[in-house]
Amino acid sequence: MSSNMVQPQIPKLTKENYESWQIQMKALFGSQELWELVIDGYVEPTRVDEPTFEKIAKVELSKEAWEILGIFFKGVDRVKRVCLQTLGAEFEVAHMKYGETISDYFSRLLVIVNCLKSNGESIEDVRVVEKILRSLANKFEHVVVAIEESKDLKTLLIDELMGSLQVHKQHMEKNSSSVVIEQALESKLTLREEKPNGFRGGYTNSNRGKGHGRGTFRGRSAHGCGGNRNVQYFNCNKCGHYASDC
């Protein structure tokens, strides 16, 4: 039986007829429902990789091959879901450890994030930024408040956040060093103010007045000196005056 289908005639392109040729070709491809290929391009089908092909290489029936591939990829999906659950739990409980630097914490958390992405998890930067801010050490609490008030977390990049935190940390360390030096100077000045004049260690003059040191007085009861005014002083051996007048 002869076919009544008419084969479309493809217009010939020359240097002079490009405009009309373009219109005719568009109409031709449109009539064959092929114009989308010109606009969107052709996507090559995904080829079966070698390990997957080996699983069905000896299979003769397509139904059997279909079932084998279904079992294989369902198992892969199940393992992937378990992996995602484990990584998601690690991400949620992660927090900055005592003594851990900002860069080390960022690196540890981003390893988890990259594993989540490689297993098909869609995780946006804003989620990572918010996680980092709420899991930092307590000493960064006022820094977190400052960043949340001055930055738009939806557009804040992870690298930008790390840079901001490192700058704030440097200011914190600088201020802490200044406070330590100031406290040390204040302590030194306080010790100087509390030390008595002429102190060279040992006993003071008031202490020597109670013992046998020079400048003290002793009674001469054997020579008839008694009472407060009849005191013979060691320095002048005289009575009737105070030690300050000697």
Cα separation values, 24 from 11, 16, 30, 93, 103, Å: 7, 14, 10, 64, 62
pLDDT at 245: 65
- Spatial separation of the C-alpha atoms in residues 102 and 137, rounded to whole Å: 10
pTM, two decimals, is: 0.45
* CB neighbours of residue 189 within 10 Å: 10
pLDDT at 241: 61
Per-residue pLDDT of the chain (246 residues; tens, 9 = 90+): 445 555 667 878 887 788 888 888 888 888 887 777 777 776 665 666 677 777 788 888 888 888 887 777 777 778 788 889 999 999 999 999 998 988 899 999 999 999 999 888 888 999 999 999 999 998 888 888 988 888 899 999 998 998 888 887 787 777 665 555 566 556 666 665 555 554 444 444 444 444 444 444 444 444 444 444 555 655 666 666 666 666
- Spatial separation of the C-alpha atoms in residues 56 and 54, rounded to whole Å: 5
pLDDT at 175: 63
pLDDT at 220: 42
- Spatial separation of the C-alpha atoms in residues 155 and 153, rounded to whole Å: 5
> Hey, where are the domains in the chain?
9-42, 84-178
Rounded to 5 degrees, what are φ and ψ at 58?
Answer: -95, 5
Q: At 115, list the tokens.
A: 């594993």
- Spatial separation of the C-alpha atoms in residues 17 and 25, rounded to whole Å: 12
Q: Is the dihedral of CA 97, 99, 101, 107 positive or negative?
A: negative
